[in-house]
Amino acid sequence: MSTTSLPVSLPAPESSARLRDALLAADFTADGLLELLGAPAYAALARSETVPALRATRGDSPLETLVRLFLLQQAVPDDRVGAALPLDQCLADGWLVREDAYGGGSAGVRATVDVRPYGGEEGQDWFIVSDLGRAVGG
């Protein structure tokens, strides 16, 4: 069995702040997800059932883009990601990687990490970042 080691680096603090600001601006929060997906799809996603969330994210809003990218582990076209996140910075920091082709040959990106919104007891909006899990598509 062979293993491949990836270079380990952390984004600069100001990069993380810009990413957090973009996530919050898109309402990529626990409450935002519940509102977008609805209770049945939100609960299904917690059980790693992705079809209801895929159906609920057919549009091109920044929130739908982030759900597809980080929670559903789907490749998303550059222009959609660029409307939701600082694309070049996320690529440079390793949050995202380029896909050679997306759909009909246009460029796209895929997340390298799982980012999940988490709501604190006093209304705080936090994010849990982990490696890609096998439950959805990693």
Structure confidence at residue 14 (pLDDT):
77
Strand partners, 115: 129
pLDDT band of 101, cuts 50, 70, 90: low
Percent of the chain with pLDDT over 90: 52
* Burial class of residue 78 (count of CB atoms within 10 Å of its CB; 0-12, 13-18, 19+): middle
To the nearest whole number, what is the mean pLDDT of the chain?
84
Q: Do the Cβ atoms of 36 and 56 come closer than 8 Å?
A: yes
Structure confidence at residue 3 (pLDDT):
41
pLDDT band of 106, cuts 50, 70, 90: low
Domain extents in the chain = 13-131
Q: What single-letter amino acid sits at 14?
A: E
- In this structure, the number of other CB atoms found within 10 A of the CB of residue 5 comes to 5
- Which residues, 6 or more positions from 101, have their beta carbon under 8 angstroms from its beta carbon? 107, 108
pLDDT at 134 over 70: no
Structure confidence at residue 131 (pLDDT):
84
Across residues 69-77, what is the average pLDDT?
A: 92
pTM of the entire structure? 0.82
> CA-CA distance, 131 to 138, in Å (whole number)?
9
* Burial class of residue 80 (count of CB atoms within 10 Å of its CB; 0-12, 13-18, 19+): buried
Which pLDDT tens digit goes with each residue over 9-20?
666 777 888 999
String of DSSP letters for the chain: ----PPPP----HHHHHHHHHHHHHTT-SHHHHHHHHHHHHHHHHHTT--HHHHHHT-S--HHHHHIIIIIS---EEHHHHHHHS-HHHHHHHTSEEEEEEETTTEEEEEESEEEEEEE-TTS-EEEEEEEPPTTTT-
Which pLDDT tens digit goes with each residue over 7-66?
456 667 778 889 999 999 999 999 999 999 999 998 898 888 889 999 999 999 999 999
